[in-house]
């Protein structure tokens, strides 16, 4: 599966300008990803998926990021939803995949909508931002606050007929993700297509009775927030590779060949080392989490806080190193036919995601190191 993703890289590079112009991934790209089975990696076998390990999923995402970070971003978001469907009542999977097991799901998880309890479920309304890849999907997973005596944050699965896509995605980076707004006006969602974020945090889900693999016992937040950072590792690798070729030919004013400049050599070495470190930490963390899942245990909160900080460090480090590589490319490096500006913008925009906020996650982890454990965060 990883080899299939890597084989797509030249095509992704060639189609990236089209995705930027159209502000969505080309249909050919989605079709090629589906033909390769990439969206089935985390999908339950009983619904046509491969049920592979989480490491394969992230290695695929990093490979796609070497071609186009917008593709990696959409895969990181859309590709994780089959994993979450395994958490739900099996009737939800039948609603989605009963006719076609290749149906895709987009999302906007922030509780931007409201839900009113009614017999058999809820009626939801609202407007959600940043639904990446939504134009290629037939379902949406949306966050709402449920009305009642005490606010309850839940996720709701809604079919395409129940929502409108509003074209709003005009941004400097990740242009190809097509992360438009979604609007729902009073749609009924049955109870089997809703799940509380508190239950997600605690690892409680009706689908676990049927989907028993440890894969589906990994913590919800740990899987989801890695989907919006890991693509940047691949993108940074692509930027480094491009610079290594570029630097062999670039002659700097009053400084000679870039490839022979000690400062640039150090920068490239630091970047290569950082990429390796981020990959090692990613896989090390999930091996630890897999151990807890295999034992039917939830990892301690301090560990989850630490791992979220590691996640945000990916976005932070990639953005800083990409900015240094862009600077080292000089004036000639800003040319539109070179990838440096596009990759930098993609990484920086990705860093803006709420799950990639380095300072916030770092302060939280730092407080835990002092024994101050007051956090209540369902995104872990």
What string of DSSP letters covers 15-64? HHHHHHHHTS--HHHHHHHHHTTGGGTTS-GGGT-----HHHHHHHHHHH
Beta-carbon contacts of residue 35 (< 8 Å; ≥ 6 apart): none
Out of 38-47, 188-197, 248-257, 333-342, least confident range: 248-257
Whether residue 40 contacts residue 49, with contact meaning beta carbons closer than 8 Å, is answered with yes
pLDDT for position 293: 98
**Which CATH superfamily is 105-209 part of?**
Butyryl-CoA Dehydrogenase, subunit A, domain 2 (2.40.110.10)
Is the pLDDT score of 314 beyond 80? yes
- Give phi and psi for 44, each to the nearest 5: -60, 145
Segment 176-200 mean pLDDT = 97
Residue 317 structure tokens? 């480090």
Every domain of the chain with CATH number 1.20.140.10 lies at 220-369
Separation of alpha carbons 159 and 34, rounded Å: 20
Q: Are strands 256-257 and 251-252 parallel, antiparallel or unpaired?
A: antiparallel
Region of poorest pLDDT, from 53-57, 88-92, 276-280, 368-372: 368-372
* 166 three-class SS: strand
Q: Which CATH number fits domain 2-86: 3.40.50.300, 1.10.540.10, 1.10.1740.10, 3.20.20.140?
A: 1.10.540.10
- Per DSSP, the three-state class of 199 is helix
- Other CB atoms within a 10 A radius of the CB of residue 232 amount to 32
Q: What is the mean pLDDT of residues 12-29?
A: 96
Domain with CATH 2.40.110.10 in the chain: 105-209
Tokens of 379: 């995104």
Q: Give the C-alpha separation, 121 to 155, whole Å.
A: 12
**CA gap 363, 12 in Å, rounded:** 37
**Helix then strand then coil, % of the chain, to nearest 5:** 55, 15, 25
354 to 109, 281, 319: CA distances (angstroms): 11, 21, 15
Q: Within the chain, what is the greatest distance between any pair of CA atoms?
A: 75
Name the segment(s) of the chain with CATH classification 1.10.540.10.
2-86
The rounded mean pLDDT for the chain is: 96
Q: Is the pLDDT of residue 12 over 80?
A: yes
Strand partners, 139: 105, 159
220-369 carries CATH number 3.60.20.10: no
Q: For residues 308 and 122, give the distance between their C-alpha atoms in angstroms, rounded to a whole number.
A: 32
Q: What's this model's pTM, rounded to 2 decimal places?
A: 0.96
pLDDT of residue 89: 97
DSSP state of 154: E
List Cβ neighbours of 240 (8 Å cut-off, separation of 6 or more).
268, 271, 272, 275, 325
Q: Which residue has the tokens 């803006």?
A: 352
% pLDDT > 90, the chain: 93
Q: Measured between alpha carbons, how far is 62 from 111 in angstroms, rounded to an integer?
A: 29
Token pair 């590779």: residue: 241
Name residues whose C-beta falls within 8 Å of residue 302's C-beta, 6 or more positions apart in sequence.
368, 373
- pLDDT of amino acid 256: 83
Q: Is the pLDDT of residue 186 over 80?
A: yes
pLDDT of residue 258: 87
Query: For residue 169, what pLDDT is reported?
Result: 98
* Residue 151 confidence (pLDDT): 64
pLDDT at 149 over 60: no
Structure tokens given for 298: 């939830």
């Amino acid at each position: 599966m990883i080899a299939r993703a890597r084989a797509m890289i030249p095509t992704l590079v060639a189609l990236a300008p089209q995705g930027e112009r159209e502000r969505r991934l080309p249909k050919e790209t989605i079709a090629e990803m589906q033909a390769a089975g990439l969206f089935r990696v985390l999908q339950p076998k009983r619904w046509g998926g491969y049920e592979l390990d989480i490491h394969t999923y992230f290695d695929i995402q990093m490979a796609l990021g070497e071609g186009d970070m917008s593709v990696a971003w959409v895969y990181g978001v859309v590709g994780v939803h089959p994993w979450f469907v395994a958490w739900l009542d099996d009737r939800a999977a039948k609603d989605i995949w009963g006719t076609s097991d290749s149906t895709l799901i987009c999302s906007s998880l922030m509780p931007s909508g409201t839900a009113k309890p009614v017999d058999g479920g809820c009626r939801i309304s609202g407007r959600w931002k940043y639904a990446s890849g939504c134009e290629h999907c037939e379902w949406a997973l949306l966050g709402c606050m449920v009305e009642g005596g005490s606010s309850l944050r839940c996720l709701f699965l809604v079919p395409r007929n129940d929502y409108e896509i509003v074209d709003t995605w005009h941004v400097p980076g990740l242009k190809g993700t097509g992360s438009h707004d979604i609007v729902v006006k009073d749609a009924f969602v049955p109870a089997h297509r809703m799940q509380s974020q508190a239950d997600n945090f605690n690892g409680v889900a009706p689908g676990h009775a049927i989907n028993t693999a440890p894969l589906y016992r990994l913590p919800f937040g740990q899987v989801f927030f890695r989907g919006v950072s890991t693509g940047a590792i691949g993108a940074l690798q692509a930027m480094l590779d491009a610079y290594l070729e570029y630097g062999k030919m670039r002659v700097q004013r009053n400084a000679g060949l870039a490839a022979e400049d000690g400062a640039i050599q150090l920068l490239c070495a630091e970047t290569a080392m950082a990429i390796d470190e981020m990959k090692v930490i990613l896989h090390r963390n999930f091996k630890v989490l897999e151990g807890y899942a295999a034992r039917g245990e939830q990892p301690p909160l301090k560990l989850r806080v630490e791992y979220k900080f590691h996640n945000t460090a990916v976005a932070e480090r990639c953005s800083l190193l990409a900015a240094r590589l862009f600077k080292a490319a000089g004036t000639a490096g800003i040319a539109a036919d070179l990838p440096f500006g596009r990759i930098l913008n993609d990484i920086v925009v990705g860093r803006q995601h709420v799950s990639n906020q380095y300072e916030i996650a770092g302060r939280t982890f730092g407080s835990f190191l002092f024994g101050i454990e007051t956090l209540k965060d369902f995104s872990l």
